[in-house]
Structure 1
Amino acid sequence: MDDLSKLVAVESIRKVKATYWYALDTKDWARFEALFTENTIIDMREEAYFAEGKPVPEMSSTQEAAAAGEAGITIGRRAFVARLSTALSTWRTVHHGHAPIIDIDSADEARAIWPLFDYIDDGNRVLKGYGHYHETYQKQSDGRWLISSLRLSRLRGDGTHPILGSRVHAEDSAR
């Protein structure tokens, strides 16, 4: 790929992620679902440990965990959106991402790490979270870039995690 093609790809991927956060926070689930490949792999294993206030152990790769059917892995965009839209139906969320590291690996494959800040409020508990999204992207035959895998890792949390109600402190989730 020439430099101009790489820049266009990077900007396209930035737009995908900006749309991700907008659709997630506004609960526009049709727009959100359209950002993922049909068989996307979503890895939220670390989030489960974080929600319980436990240190994250060494883990297998997302692809290995998906092949083994491990808990915390969701395969398929419809399954992911169904799970997320149910969990967040009454929550207010704000997601921000900044200064991504985007690598264009080929004409149709890319990787990105997105620094993350999120504010999650279920009406009773509030969490301010900090971490990273680790993602892969695939360029489709129509030219669109879509998220093909996503793994969330947390570095810090302030507040109470809405999923399990565990009080999360920075030192609990530090890696």
Structure 2
Amino acid sequence: MSELAEIVRRLDALEAAESIKRMKARYWRFVDEKKYDDLVALFAPGAKIVIHGTEWPSARELVDATREYTGGAPTVHHGHMPEIEILGEDVASGVWMLEDLVPFKAGENAPPGHRGYGMYRETYRRIEGIWLIDSLELTRFRMDPMDNWVREA
């Protein structure tokens, strides 16, 4: 490979990694802003989603469950220390550390709220020039209890 071709390859990889980082930043922002349709659009068709060992049938079903459980509860998600590896022209993988505060809306069947610490392992696919999540596996290492959210009158 020529020196110029190597420089172009490296620049393309840097641009791809930066695009993936921006997409993932939107992911967490969309969760916290409750922009659920925008969130679903960040997933590739047929994306594999596993959270705490449970596989979700589709991004839409995960997002609808998130909407149901959180309602208007003020969540906070932070992703840190991305490790993005470009595996091919339109394929990449990544690892992100996570810290989140999730006070689910209070109710009879509400799961307990938590402040969580964990990790995402993901793969990405570029489709028509746009990087999307092709697989997502979320594992939390620690979840400290947090009171659930009660809407103020």
TM range (shorter): 0.7 to 0.9
1:150 to 133, 136, 148: 136
Unaligned runs of 5+ in 2: 1-7, 107-111, 149-153
**Runs of 4+ with >4 A deviation:** none
CA distance in 2, matches of 1:161, 1:129: 13
- Cα displacement (A) at 1:154: 1.1
Q: Does 2:76 match 1:91?
A: no
2:117 to 130, 140, 143: 130
Unaligned runs of 5+ in 1: 47-71, 163-175
> Which piece of structure 1 moves more, 9-18 or 125-134?
125-134
SS in 2 for 1:92: coil
**Pairing of 1:21-40 with structure 2 (within 5 A):** 21-40=28-47
- Cα displacement (A) at 1:111: 0.6
SS in 2 for 1:80: helix
Q: CA RMSD in A?
A: 1.8
- Cα displacement (A) at 1:83: 2.4
Q: Does 2:7 match 1:9?
A: no
**More strand per residue:** 2
- Cα displacement (A) at 1:160: 4.6
2:57 to 61, 66, 75: 75
| Higher Cα radius of gyration | 2
Q: Encode CA deviations 1:13-32: one digit per residue, 9 max, x unaligned.
A: 00110000000001101111
Q: TM-score, normalised by structure 1?
A: 0.71
Whether contact under 8 Å (2:124, 2:132) holds in the other structure is yes
